[in-house]
Structure 1
Amino acid sequence: MTSPIYLSAREAAAELGVQPATLYAYVSRGLIRSVPGPGKQRRYDAADVRRLQGRKSPGEDVETRSAAGDLLLETRLTLITDEGHFYRGIPAAELAASSSLEAVATLLWDCSQDPFADSLAADLPDFPETAGPLERLMAALAIWPTVDPAAYTLSPQLLRKKGASLVRYGAAALLGRPVEAKPIHEAIASAWRVDGNSVAILRAALVLSADHELNTSAFAVRCAASTRAPLHAALISGVGAFAGPRHGASIDRVNAWLDEIAAASDVDRVLNARLQRGDPLPGFGHAIYSAEDPRARCLIEMLTALPAPAAFLTLVPDIVARAEELFGVRPNIDFALAVAQRAFDLPDDAGKILFCAGRMVGWIAHALEQYQARELIRPRAAYLGERPKGIRY
């Protein structure tokens, strides 16, 4: 793997065309990462500097943007670092070792009481047999007001209980089974008829998937919540974004190429063929992490540590090594969930269901946090089209 490039303060400021004080302001806002350097000096991530420099234009307020050019929203939910992600300061990997998704929900939702203790019991509608898990979830959320007469409430005292009800209701819709008043990982294990070590892996996968800062689906939820849309409607926004092949449905693309690998002899053939065709390798690489996705590392380590691992797990180290050699990328959470699906011979949509069921907790956390903000999320566009004549701008 290549090593990151770091610049001195003078070099970074020169590339950006700013004074050192402005450089330090960018660092304090999280726009540029820095590391200890020689003596008391610090070094600055060249990739961040160059991404930021490439997006500067005269008059642009870069201090409101991340190093990737995205608008910044303040949050107290999740911190992402190259070492891992943290839920309200607690390492998600540590929580994955023993906590349930419900326990993580009470952490992310900042609960003083257990909202799952008396969550609303609700029956799901009848779904067409051809409906997939995400279609069932969107349909179930759309009719939530017919189930819950207080579905439109924004009362802080009620929203957490609504969230708990919606998590159980949503998980049941994803599974296509009745709502159960039991931990989500147990309901999923029961639906898929798995037990033993696999149940702990399902629980860990849900916890690791619960939140990942301001990803696309979380941003969609926050935009809806900023308009004061009710909680179920905000979740529909999240599911819609999640359904795209570049987000939650990316796991389908991972499974598509993994279907071609049945033995060790297939690994080189499949990966070389994708490379020669110029095809990407879904499940590898991540826009946020400079090296590897710590969520994938955590889940894969748990899977490969199982006693008497499934045959497919023996292929994983070779797949990962060859992917890095040929594509220069490491696994992300999509690959890890696809591996878990295959390791336990789970249903075709299992990885996607785990990801979405866990992520519902994070979406609710973002909605709750956004409801407390006064501002409407309304980014401005950078117009690149033809300029009308006679208009001053």
Structure 2
Amino acid sequence: MTKPIYLSAREAAAELGVQPATLYAYVSRGLISSVAGPGKKRRYDASDVRRLKGRKASEDHAGNRPLTGDPVLETELTLISPDGPVYRGRRATDLAENSTLETVATLLWGSEADPFAEPAPDGPPALPAGLGPLDRLMMALAAWPLQDKAAFTQAPKLLQVKGAALLRYGTAALLNTQPVSVPVHSQIAGAFGVSASAKNLIRAALVLSADHELNTSAFAARCAASTRAPLHAALLSGLGAFTGPRHGAASDRTAAWLSDIGPETDIEEALSARLSRGDTLPGFGHSVYLERDPRADCLLEMLFRNAQDHPFVARLPQLISLAGDLYGLSPNIDFALAAIQKTYGLPRESGKIIFCAGRITGWIAHALEQYAANEQIRPRAAYVGIRPE
């Protein structure tokens, strides 16, 4: 019998290309076995390390970076594929060509009847002046029980109708308008006062933003729903995670540097200056898609098709090419949203508003799916701190 080979923690972590804390987490999850070594140090089975390294390499080769952590729950909602998100078997990029957010909502929610057949709800109470879109939405969701006496219901036959009402209500809060019974993209386009071309891009962006499997905000919404928190509270949990600059607010960071790109700007010089300062390039690269974000490709292709004569759109291929040459990255959906905002002169934070309105649909879908499950979400942590003697 071949004698097992064991590695030190430093050797095992180096072979896997991870930090020691990640190695210990692999051990706690049973992915790598360890034995007592000299002193208080542990040794790690080399065959387990190489088997795990091979699995990680095959996942990378498949076109996606492995998502952090192991799966913690099952879902029938969204699959992340190299072609982008797939909503219950339908590619989001295909749906983006003609579908509305309401159509995608009924698909993700598994609706048999139209939950949007009911009139739009009343708007939120008067909110303090000066709030940003996400803060308005937070306060409006917290006030939802004031107008809906069944806000705390868990009845399955009512929840989809509540979801439709909350989507219209939430969109109105983001826009600082009153809820209406027209499609969400029409509501947003009307508030922004834009052309039919921009309206079509807004529609597609909403569809592509609807869900992205178990991202941070969707997981937060599901955790709340697993405690049987009411639907508006589950949305508040998702929204809290969404507000961060590494999630929903990423399009704001992209729009900020894109605002400096004018008709006479030397794009290569501008990007080179960012690179020399060590500045990142918000809107490029993605933690899931190894090569390209298909959602961005879909939106940018539509933008080129609909606004090819716009001066900024005409320069986009050069900008994207130079970003690839200098940073080695491709545009993600945040860049596409910021590009739409700049092309059509949409109001400040428009990209974030569109993304959030679309993602409300996904949070509702995850909450509804979690309500149908019996278990409460309670993942375990891999403790890597000091242990008692």
Report the TM range for the smaller structure's normalisation.
0.7 to 0.9
Please tell me the residue identity of whatever aligns with 1:220: A
Alpha-carbon offset, residue 137 of structure 1:
0.3
Distance 1:295 1:167 in 2: 22
Correspondent of 1:17 among 44, 47, 51: 47
Could you say which residue in structure 1 is the equivalent of 2:202? Answer: 202
Range with bigger deviation, 118-127 or 159-168: 118-127
Could you say which residue in structure 1 is the equivalent of 2:72? Answer: 72
**1:134 corresponds to 2:164:** no
Alpha-carbon offset, residue 87 of structure 1:
0.6
Task: Report which structure shows greater RCO (CA 8 Å, sep ≥6).
Answer: 2
Could you say which residue in structure 1 is the equivalent of 2:333? Answer: 333
Deviations 1:167-187 (A, max 9, x none): 000000000001111110111
Range with bigger deviation, 193-202 or 67-76: 67-76
The DSSP-based 3-state class of the residue aligned with 1:171 is helix
Contact 1:111 1:160 in 2 (8 A): yes
Range with bigger deviation, 272-281 or 162-171: 272-281
Contact 1:119 1:164 in 2 (8 A): no
The DSSP-based 3-state class of the residue aligned with 2:369 is helix
Could you say which residue in structure 1 is the equivalent of 2:235? Answer: 235
Please tell me the residue identity of whatever aligns with 2:280: P
Could you say which residue in structure 2 is the equivalent of 1:356? Answer: 356
Contact 2:124 2:143 in 1 (8 A): no
Contact 1:32 1:67 in 2 (8 A): no
Could you say which residue in structure 1 is the equivalent of 2:273? Answer: 273
Contact 1:119 1:161 in 2 (8 A): no
Runs ≥4 residues deviating over 6 A: none
Distance 1:67 1:361 in 2: 22
Please tell me the residue identity of whatever aligns with 1:17: S
Distance 1:309 1:17 in 2: 58
The structure-2 alpha-carbon separation of the partners of 1:331 and 1:116, relative to structure 1 and needing over 3 Å to count, comes to same
Alpha-carbon offset, residue 308 of structure 1:
5.0
The DSSP-based 3-state class of the residue aligned with 1:182 is coil
Please tell me the residue identity of whatever aligns with 1:381: A
Alpha-carbon offset, residue 264 of structure 1:
5.5
Alpha-carbon offset, residue 278 of structure 1:
1.2
Distance 1:172 1:372 in 2: 29
The DSSP-based 3-state class of the residue aligned with 1:265 is coil
The DSSP-based 3-state class of the residue aligned with 2:110 is coil
**1:87 corresponds to 2:62:** no
Distance 2:257 2:372 in 1: 43
TM-score normalised to structure 1 length: 0.83
Distance 1:159 1:45 in 2: 37
Range with bigger deviation, 67-76 or 134-143: 67-76
The DSSP-based 3-state class of the residue aligned with 2:266 is helix
- Unaligned 5+ runs, structure 2: 1-31, 33-44
The structure-2 alpha-carbon separation of the partners of 1:158 and 1:16, relative to structure 1 and needing over 3 Å to count, comes to farther
Range with bigger deviation, 262-271 or 101-110: 262-271
The structure-2 alpha-carbon separation of the partners of 1:19 and 1:311, relative to structure 1 and needing over 3 Å to count, comes to closer
Contact 1:284 1:330 in 2 (8 A): yes
Give the percent of matched residue pairs that are identical in Structure 1 and Structure 2. Answer: 54
Distance 1:113 1:211 in 2: 21
**1:314 corresponds to 2:314:** yes
Alpha-carbon offset, residue 197 of structure 1:
1.4
Deviations 1:296-338 (A, max 9, x none): 0000000011155322111211111011111111000000000
Please tell me the residue identity of whatever aligns with 1:176: N
Please tell me the residue identity of whatever aligns with 2:253: R
**1:323 corresponds to 2:323:** yes
Deviations 1:270-291 (A, max 9, x none): 2111111111111000111110
Could you say which residue in structure 2 is the equivalent of 1:213? Answer: 213
Could you say which residue in structure 2 is the equivalent of 1:347? Answer: 347
**1:294 corresponds to 2:324:** no
Alpha-carbon offset, residue 47 of structure 1:
6.4
Alpha-carbon offset, residue 125 of structure 1:
1.6
Alpha-carbon offset, residue 385 of structure 1:
2.1
The structure-2 alpha-carbon separation of the partners of 1:119 and 1:382, relative to structure 1 and needing over 3 Å to count, comes to farther
Please tell me the residue identity of whatever aligns with 1:257: W
Please tell me the residue identity of whatever aligns with 1:174: L
The DSSP-based 3-state class of the residue aligned with 1:17 is helix
The structure-2 alpha-carbon separation of the partners of 1:335 and 1:307, relative to structure 1 and needing over 3 Å to count, comes to closer
Q: How does 1:359-370 map to 2 (within 5 A)?
A: 359-370=359-370
Alpha-carbon offset, residue 18 of structure 1:
4.7
The DSSP-based 3-state class of the residue aligned with 2:86 is strand
The structure-2 alpha-carbon separation of the partners of 1:46 and 1:134, relative to structure 1 and needing over 3 Å to count, comes to closer
Please tell me the residue identity of whatever aligns with 1:296: A
Alpha-carbon offset, residue 195 of structure 1:
2.5
Contact 1:167 1:360 in 2 (8 A): yes
TM-score normalised to structure 2 length: 0.84
Q: How does 1:2-13 map to 2 (within 5 A)?
A: none
Distance 1:17 1:379 in 2: 28
Q: How does 1:38-49 map to 2 (within 5 A)?
A: 44-45=58-59
Range with bigger deviation, 276-285 or 156-165: 276-285
Alpha-carbon offset, residue 265 of structure 1:
3.5
Distance 1:264 1:301 in 2: 24
Could you say which residue in structure 2 is the equivalent of 1:155? Answer: 155
Alpha-carbon offset, residue 17 of structure 1:
2.4
